[in-house]
Structure 1
C-alpha cells in the first residue's frame, strides 16, 4: 500500500509522517528503511536494492522523502516497483514538500497511492486557529513583533514559515528575515535525543536541514553533546562550563553508562571520512534507533 503526503503546510504533513514513524517502529521494529532522495549516495544505494523482496519480512516498510529529486535512471527503477507496492502488503510512504507540476514520477506515485493527502498552506487568517492550538499545546506564546515576523515569513516563504513556527514550538524565537542562522539552534537536536524523544529528535533534524545547516555541522554539534553526556555519566565535568555540566548531568540520568559509551563510540565511527557521503542517512538511523 502506498501513501503520499505533500503540500506547503509541512508542519501538518510532518505530524502525519511522525505517526507513520511510530507505526513502523511498532510493527517492524528495526526492519524498515528511511531514505532522503536529496542525499544522492544514500538514495542511489537504496534504489539499487529495489526489485527484490524485503530482507526483513514479508513486506516492505519504507519512508521515501523527495522522490522527485532522483536521477532519471533512479526514477525509472523506482517507478517499476510502484505497482507491486500498491498491490501487496507493503507500507510505503512518499513525502514531498510541494506538488511538482508535470512530473511523471509524482503523477505515477499519486496514481498508485491508496491515499494521497495534500496539505495546502491557506491564508494566514485561515491557519490562525491551528497556530493558536499548537502554541497552547506546547505551552508557548508569541510576542506581537514575533507574530508580525511569522506572518511575513508566511507571505514571502511558506516553507520557511513552517520551519520558523516549529522552531518556536521547540523553544526558540522567530528569526528576523535578514538574520543569519543561529548556531544555538543546533542544540535542540541533542536535547530531544537526550530526553529519549526519538520522533522529536527526527523532526528537529529535519528542521535544521531546512534551515540551511549541513549534515556535517549538525553531526559535530550532536557528537559534542553526546560526548558531554558520556563524560557526565562518569562524573568528569570539571572542564565544562557550569551550565553545560549541569545540563549534561541531568540528561545523562536518562541513560546508563554503557548506553552512552556505546552511543558515543557509534558516532565516532560515523566520523570516519570514508563514510561521510552517507552521514545524513546514518545519523538519522542513529536518532531513530538508539
Structure 2
C-alpha cells in the first residue's frame, strides 16, 4: 500500500505523517519495522535494499521516503517500481514531500494514481489559521484575546510552525500574552534542571534551545542521560562508595554528579526506574517519527510536576 502526503502546509502534513507512523506502530506491535529515507541525503539503492530484506518474525515493514520529488534524484528510479511496490503485501510506503508546485505536476499526478491514499495539504486560509489557534492546547488552557490572535496572524500569516512555536512559548509564560523571552545563549543544563525540578519554565528553556539551533536528538540524549543519572544515584543508595561508583561509571563531572545526587533525593527509586523505562518507549516513537520531541518533553515534565515536590513515586 502506498500513501502520498504533499503540499505547502508542512505542519499539517508532518502531523499526518506522525499519525500514520504511530498507527502502524500500534497495529504491528512487537513486529513493527520502519525504514526512513530523506531523498536529499540518501541513495535510492538503499531503499531498494531495505525493501528487499525481511525477517521471519516481521509481519509488515513501513518505508517512509521524504522529499521523493523535490530532491530530484529519486523519482526516475521510484517511478520504475511504483506498480510493483504498490502490490507488495508485506511493505507499506509513505511518500512525503513539501510544496512541489507546478514543476512536478505530472509526477504528482502519477504518484497520486499509484497511491492507495493521497492527500494534498494546501496553504491554510485565514479561517484555517483562526481555527488552528482556537484548537491549540494553549488556547484551550488560557484565554487569548482577539487582539493577540490577530497579532499572531499578522506576524506569521499561514506559517503554522511559527504560530505553534509562539503559542508554546505563551504556554510557558506567567501571562499568556507575554511569552518568556527566548535566549539565543541557552544551555541544555538549564532546561534539564528546570525539567527535573518540575519548574513551569522548563518548556520555555526547551524552545530556547530549539531557537538557538540545538539538535533535537542532542536535547533528547541529554534528557535521557540526566534521568539515567538520577535513577542510578537513587538505586545506589546514600553511601559515598556507591555514589562514587556511579559517578565513575557514568563519567560525570564532580559538580554534575553532586547536583544529580541532590536532585535524585526528590524521587523514590521506583518512580525514577519507571520513568527511565518510559523513555525507551518515547525513544522508539521519536526515532520512528511516531511523536515529536515536544510531546515527549511535555509528558515527562507533566509527570514530574503532577507527582509533587516531595519524595514521589512508589518504592
State TM-score, norm by structure 1: 0.61
**Equivalent position to 1:240, from 253, 259, 268:** 259
2:228–2:276 contact (8 Å) kept in structure 1: no
Question: 2:221 aligned with 1:223, yes or no?
Answer: yes
CA distance, structure 1, for counterparts of residue 98 and residue 88 of structure 2? 26
1:50–1:78 contact (8 Å) kept in structure 2: no
| Match runs of 1:193-208 below 5 Å | none
Question: 2:159 aligned with 1:158, yes or no?
Answer: yes
2:36–2:65 contact (8 Å) kept in structure 1: yes
SS at match of 1:122: coil
Segments of structure 1 that go 5 or more residues without pairing to the other structure are: 192-203, 268-280
CA distance, structure 2, for counterparts of residue 174 and residue 247 of structure 1? 36
2:47 is matched with 47
2:70–2:98 contact (8 Å) kept in structure 1: no
SS at match of 2:102: coil
CA distance, structure 2, for counterparts of residue 52 and residue 81 of structure 1? 12
Segments of structure 2 that go 5 or more residues without pairing to the other structure are: 196-205, 235-242, 244-255, 297-315
1:271 is matched with none
CA distance, structure 2, for counterparts of residue 219 and residue 247 of structure 1? 27
Give a deviation string over 1:17-43, Cα, whole Å, max 9, x none: 2321222112334533242416614x5
CA distance, structure 2, for counterparts of residue 163 and residue 77 of structure 1? 37
Give a deviation string over 1:124-164, Cα, whole Å, max 9, x none: 23431332123368524546675344213432x62643553
State TM-score, norm by structure 2: 0.57
CA distance, structure 2, for counterparts of residue 37 and residue 132 of structure 1? 33
| Match runs of 1:1-290 below 5 Å | 1-29=1-29, 30-37=31-38, 40-41=41-42, 46-49=46-49, 52=52, 54-55=54-55, 57=58, 59-70=60-71, 72=73, 74-89=74-89, 90-103=91-104, 105-135=107-137, 139-142=141-144, 146-155=148-157, 158=159, 160-161=161-162, 163-164=164-165, 167=168, 171=172, 183=186, 213=213, 217-233=215-231, 234-235=233-234, 239-240=258-259, 245=263, 249=267, 253=271, 255-256=273-274, 259=277, 284-285=287-288
Task: Evaluate the alpha carbon distance shift between residue 287 and residue 94 of structure 1 in structure 2; reply closer, same or farther with a 3 A threshold.
Answer: closer
1:34–1:62 contact (8 Å) kept in structure 2: yes
Which protein is bigger by CA-based radius of gyration? 2
Q: How well do the aligned residues superpose, as a CA RMSD in angstroms? A: 5.0
Task: Evaluate the alpha carbon distance shift between residue 226 and residue 92 of structure 1 in structure 2; reply closer, same or farther with a 3 A threshold.
Answer: same
